[in-house]
Amino acid sequence: MGVVDVPDSRVALSTSSVYPLGVVGAFDLAERLGYDGIEVMVWTDPVSQESGALGRLIDHYGLPVVSIHAPTLLLTQRVWGVEPWGKVDNSVRLAQEVGAEVVVVHPPFRWQKEYATEFVEGIRAREDASGIAIAVENMFPWRARGREMQAYLPDWDPVGEDYRNVTLDLSHTATAGSDAVQMVQDLGDRLRHIHLADGLGSFKDEHLVPGRGGQPCAEVLEMLAAQRFSGDVVVEVGTRKLSDDDRELDLAEALAFARLHLAAPASAD
């Protein structure tokens, strides 16, 4: 019987995966299903913004917060004010207070020109000052009526930018038409964090359960396992329209998919 090596990667659940349930619902589901931790998407839910409340959940459920997702989405433009660096700084502070090692951020929108001009240097300076990895997420061009718009600066694709840490989102690679396997290879040790999801390549950001779309989710996880990847793999799938029972089934399936494909054949010594 073959021997497998399992890397040190934790498989965590994003609180966005249980929306419209809140952070408490995410902790409850993650603990019952056997996830290793939680990524907190900072949202209008007050619990997502408050280290004391999160600390009590960490203690109660015995699950760590592995990462904080800064409120840099269009839908969270007014969470923690409108000043973008304030959002990043608050997210870094929250990560420090709850013991998370990573903050996930999106690149600036193209209309945030001052923020975009200093973004790469500002991220590096904050990493140096805090010891927190700020992992910039790959995004995608916006498309409508046959036209494509560059919505992010300096780019939606982080591969060519001078970031120390990157989050690879496998729903976003589907929407962008990116080659996820090539991105893993090109990023090398700058790849710090994974958002595990799937997509069929539509213009919508689909966040399907891994294995239900066209992305090489299994291949990416197996590559990372073979490389002894030590970053976190965070399940970030959409369950908004599902019943409680179907949501639980989908999140259990996503966890099983991650566990299966993170087990790589052990190399012979």
Close Cβ partners of 265 (under 8 Å, ≥ 6 residues apart): 2, 3, 4, 5
Give the residue numbers spanning the domain of 164.
Answer: 7-263
Q: Is residue 68 part of a domain?
A: yes
Predicted TM-score (pTM) of this structure:
0.94
Using CA atoms, how far apart are residues 111 and 96, in angstroms rounded to an integer?
A: 30
| Position 269 confidence tier, pLDDT thresholds 50, 70, 90 | very low
Q: What is the bridge-based pairing of β-strands 147-149 and 142-144? A: antiparallel
User: Does residue 268 have a pLDDT over 80?
Assistant: no
Q: What is the mean pLDDT of residues 161-188?
A: 97
84-143, pLDDT tens digit by residue? 999 999 999 999 999 999 999 999 999 999 999 999 999 999 999 999 999 999 999 987
| Position 203 confidence tier, pLDDT thresholds 50, 70, 90 | confident
Q: Is residue 171 part of a domain?
A: yes
Using CA atoms, how far apart are residues 219 and 225, in angstroms rounded to an integer?
A: 10
Of 196, 191, 92, 110, whose CA–CA distance to 156 is shortest?
A: 110
Q: Is residue 2 part of a domain?
A: no
| Position 265 confidence tier, pLDDT thresholds 50, 70, 90 | low
Burial category of 34 from C-beta neighbours within 10 Å (exposed 0-12, middle 13-18, buried 19 and up): exposed
Q: Is residue 268 part of a domain?
A: no
Structural domains of the chain, count: 1
- By three-state DSSP, how is residue 77 classified? coil
Of 40, 8, 11, 10, whose CA–CA distance to 24 is shortest?
A: 40
Q: Is residue 210 part of a domain?
A: yes
Q: Are 172 and 193 in contact (CB under 8 A)?
A: no
Q: What is the mean pLDDT of residues 142-156?
A: 82
